[in-house]
Amino acid sequence: MIKKNFRIAVNEKLIVRVTYVTNDSRILTRKCVPFDFGPSRKFKDKSDRYHFQDLDSPNGKHPLSLEPKKVIKVELTGVNFDPANYIKWKPNWFMKRNWGKYS
């Protein structure tokens, strides 16, 4: 259900609620924009991760990359987002999508 909901959220441009386990074993739920699933360009191990923009962290909006084993649940909110409000770089996604010039 996690992969399915993530794919739906990307394709339909839906904000999600992500519940996950942190590195210090806390369980958090955050409202996020789903970006991509694939190898991380940031982490040295290059393992596949879910990539989000965390919208409601107490520390402010920031990228959130999670290993699949850390993700407990991805819930669809029914609230759409506009990629233009979040994509400020030339994207090179692993997942195909129809986001116009942000694809």
Between the alpha carbon of residue 34 and those of residues 24, 43, 45, the distances in Å are 23, 18, 21
3-class SS at 34? strand
> Token match 């991805």: residue?
74
Report, as an integer, the average pLDDT of 10-29.
97
Question: Is the per-residue pLDDT at 44 higher than 90?
Answer: no
What value does the mean pLDDT of the chain take? Answer: 95
Domains of the chain, by residue range, sit at: 2-98
Residue closest to 50 by CA, chosen among 62, 64, 60: 64
Burial of 43 (0-12, 13-18, 19+ CB in 10 A): exposed
Letter for the amino acid at 56? D
74-93 tens-digit pLDDT? 999 999 999 999 999 999 99
Fold of 2-98: SH3 type barrels. (2.30.30)
